[in-house]
Amino acid sequence: MIYLGLERYTQTDVKEILTLHPDGIVLGDILCDKKMFPYGGEELPEIMSECRNSGIKVIFQTPMYATDRVFGDLMKRIEYYLSRDFLEGVIVQDVGVCRSVRKLDDKVKIIWGKMGHARNPVTNMATLDFYAQAGVSAAECSSTHIADLIKQRGLEQFLLIGSPAYTTINRECYYKYQHDIYDDNCHLGCLLKEKVVIPGAGDSQRTIDGFVLDYHNNYSEESIAKASEYDNAVIYAADLAAAGEYLDRMRGAADA
């Protein structure tokens, strides 16, 4: 199966994705849903319902920083999505979220996310055993080598075509911190591409765009060529045009 995940969704994007006929779609930003959706994620149930009615599976991606301030609300949202039968799976980035989701539903597919791998970069049978014991039933991976390990462990594979890579400051929202804003009235400053300069070591300085430095996707020709050998592939892309291009390439490789 092939899933698509965009950095930002508009209503037009959702309708056009449906015309591409992927098997599924990934919704939910790893940092902040205000970055991904024009209405900050309030429109998610509507999008999920539209996808389900069109026969497209939905995977919800939980944020990387599930702090105490957002954890309860996150679980309520997931519980509601599950009650409406919107979700095929949930991508988790840490064990606490994983175990809480498993308590909500003992059958939903729980996928260990790429950002979870980033926290523990060593992936072997011992780490996969630990994830499985916590309730994980599948895992994202950015290489065919790791996909082979996941397959050997008996977990479902989600090979990434477009693996997210970024540099950030270890804060839930650096933009709010920099501007002394500690409520939700941030006005989406991070989307305005405002540059913030912070002091570094010695004479060097760092320029920060919102709260994320250098966010991009890495694409692997090997993953594109061999994607059909694994259970699933996920195309993460900046926009619909890029996602469509890689989707065509993957379908061509599978037919070759």
pLDDT tens per residue across span 65-85: 888 888 999 999 999 999 999
Cα pseudo-dihedral 115, 118, 122, 124, rounded to 10: 10
CATH numeric code, 2-164+215-255 = 3.20.20.70
Per the prediction, the chain carries an average pLDDT of 84
pLDDT at 206: 44
Q: What is the pLDDT of residues 202-227, one digit of tens each?
A: 444 444 444 455 567 888 899 999 99
225: nearest Cα among 197, 252, 189? 252
Domain boundaries, the chain: 2-164+215-255, 174-210
For residue 190, pLDDT beyond 70: no
Burial 208-238 (b: 16+ CB within 10 A, else e): bbbbbeebebebbeebbeebeebebbbbbbe
- What are the residues facing 234 on neighbouring strands? 3, 160
Query: In terms of pTM, does the model score above 0.85?
Result: no
Closest-CA residue to 26 (of 57, 70, 53, 52): 57
The average pLDDT across 90-110 equals: 95
pLDDT digits (tens, 9 = 90+) for 20-68: 999 999 999 987 888 899 999 999 999 999 999 999 999 999 998 888 8
- 229: its two tokens: 């050998």
